Amino acid sequence: MVKKTGYDKPGIKTKKSPHLGDLLLARYEKQIKSGFDDLERFELIDRLKKPVLYFAFSGTKRLIIDLHDCLSQFPYSFFIRTNKGLDIWNLPELGTRNAHVHISRFPNLIKFIQDNENSISSDMWGLLYGYPVPDIHQFTYAWDAWKKAQPNE
């Protein structure tokens, strides 16, 4: 049986400071594989300027459940998916797993992503992640022009 993964309730309200992004980076920095910029600017979630935040996480079953418990203390909807699915409580005890974490103030968006993750188009992901609409259009439909506009790395 899959236990609640956060999408059905926003969590327990809290007055903790600093913001959740800083807390996650401080606690799990070595396990976070991508999404650092979004976590550093987590206040955009609170200001409703970024509908959904995503980051990739790598850790043992114990660390993934610890991350779930940490997120459950805050007033956000979220879910954690591994290659074994949403049931993080039945992951093998040994070994490291990659986890994909989505967080939002909007429980219905989290439920939508959870149910349709594999069929969401690139432009829809851009909207969900809060990128500017002109950038999404250029990135999705005019790739060559978008690539030329990027600073040389």
Give 11-36 pLDDT, tens digit per residue.
444 454 557 888 888 888 888 898 88
- pLDDT reading at 136 higher than 50: yes
Residue at 116: amino acid letter: N
Q: Tens digits of per-residue pLDDT, 95-131?
A: 888 899 999 988 999 999 999 988 998 889 988 988 8
Mean pLDDT of 130-140: 85
Per-domain residue ranges of the chain: 20-120
Rounded to whole angstroms, how far apart are CA atoms 54 and 34?
8
The confidence score (pLDDT) of residue 2 equals 41
Distance between start and end Cα atoms, the chain: 47
Mean pLDDT of the residues in the chain: 82
Kindly state the greatest CA–CA separation across the chain. 49
**pTM for the full predicted model:** 0.77
Q: What phi-psi label fits residue 130: left (phi over 0), alpha (psi between -120 and 50 degrees) or beta? A: left
Q: How many CB atoms lie within 10 A of CB 7?
A: 21
Rounded to whole angstroms, how far apart are CA atoms 31 and 49?
26
When pLDDT is cut at 50, 70 and 90, the band that residue 153 belongs to is: low
- pLDDT reading at 3 higher than 80: no
